[in-house]
Amino acid sequence: MRKPIVAGNWKMNKTVAEAQALVADIKRDLAECSGVDVVVCPPFTALAAVSEAITGSQLDLGAQNMHWEGSGAYTGEIAPPMLRELFCHYVILGHSERREYAGETDAIVNKKLKAALAANLRPIVCVGEQLADRDAGRTEAVVEQQLRGSLANCSAREWTDVVVAYEPVWAIGTGRTATPDQAQEVHAFIRSVIRDLADDSIAQTVRIQYGGSMKPANAAELISQPDIDGGLIGGAALDAASFVAIVQAAL
């Protein structure tokens, strides 16, 4: 049995004060959520404050990106040990917005993946096709290429810390969600690629989140699909009541 994982990707939203207010509400409403791993991923500037706020709770902390080097002359970047110091346990890697606006390639995502695993951070590796890919019948080809590039050279031990997020780009922030059947089809395909990259028992344990306009109204139906193990939530994670309702749907 895979434990569901619901993560809130706050993207470039929330000042420190706003982040503290949001996480206080989430924490209050999720006092009991041991059946689901719940992760909040604020922007870098709010990590320390949110880390302090969730101490002793069941919430976990994630970052939205990191560099692959441990330190050095990389202006504007954040290194894995800096995240660990703030008790970050997860890091989102290869989000489509980073691929699109920061030019991240599968090779870069793979370097970050290896660095995250070496630093004891659990990577949430994002893959997903553009609308044009889907319309051209290229969804599986695109997702497979992203998986093979981003997740190359993982040991069996490393696979146990990996989370994959399937985020069809056309569903992100558009209000247009993949139907449960569409999402399940790609999740099952992702699991088959992991089986090929690793083995069957690893493929059965790796958690695969869905992301893209997930909200309280559609979360239960998506997460109840056999290969959907939770959600990576954008817009709805900025509102405590919506985020909590999605976690409850996963329960």
**Which of these segments, 49-57, 150-158, 195-203, 229-237, binds ligand 13P (CB under 6 A)?**
229-237
133 contributes a contact to ligand 13P by CB under 6 A: no
* Residue 71: Cβ within 10 Å count: 11
Residue number with CB closer to ligand 13P (33 or 233): 233
Q: Of these residues, 67, 95, 104, 129, which one is catalytic?
A: 95
Kindly state whether residue 70 participates in binding ligand 13P, applying the rule CB under 6 A: no
Contact pick of 33, 234, 247, 250 for ligand 13P (by CB under 6 A): 234
Binding residue for ligand 13P, selected from 82, 116, 121, 214, defined by CB under 6 A: 214
Catalytic, 185? Answer no
The residue (of 139 and 213) whose beta carbon lies closer to ligand 13P is 213
Contact string (CB under 6 A) for ligand 13P, positions 71-110, x = contact: ------------------------x---------------
Range in contact with ligand 13P (rule: CB under 6 A) among 25-33, 54-62, 114-122, 230-238: 230-238
The three-state DSSP-derived secondary structure of the chain is CCCCEEEEECCCCCCHHHHHHHHHHHHHHCCCCCCCEEEEECCHHHHHHHHHHHCCCCEEEEECCCCCCCCCCCCCCCCHHHHHHCCCCEEEECCHHHHHHCCCCHHHHHHHHHHHHHCCCEEEEEECCCHHHHHCCCHHHHHHHHHHHHCCCCCHHHHCCCEEEECCHHHCCCCCCCCHHHHHHHHHHHHHHHHHHCCHHHHHHCEEEECCCCCHHHHHHHHCCCCCCEEEECHHHHCHHHHHHHHHHHC
Which of 6, 233, 244, 246: binder of ligand 13P (CB under 6 A)? 233
* 95 has catalytic annotation: yes
Nearer to ligand 13P, 212 or 230 (CB): 212
Q: Strand locations in the chain, DSSP E?
A: 5-9, 37-41, 59-63, 90-93, 122-127, 163-166, 207-210, 230-233
Could you say whether residue 183 binds ligand 13P (CB under 6 A)? no
Q: Does 213 bind ligand 13P (CB under 6 A)?
A: yes
Residue type, 63: A
43 binds ligand 13P (CB under 6 A): no
2-21 positions binding ligand 13P, by CB under 6 A: 9
Site for ligand 13P in 148-167 (CB under 6 A): 167
Q: Which residues bind ligand 13P (CB under 6 A)?
A: 9, 95, 167, 172-173, 211-214, 232-236
Known catalytic residues are: 95, 167
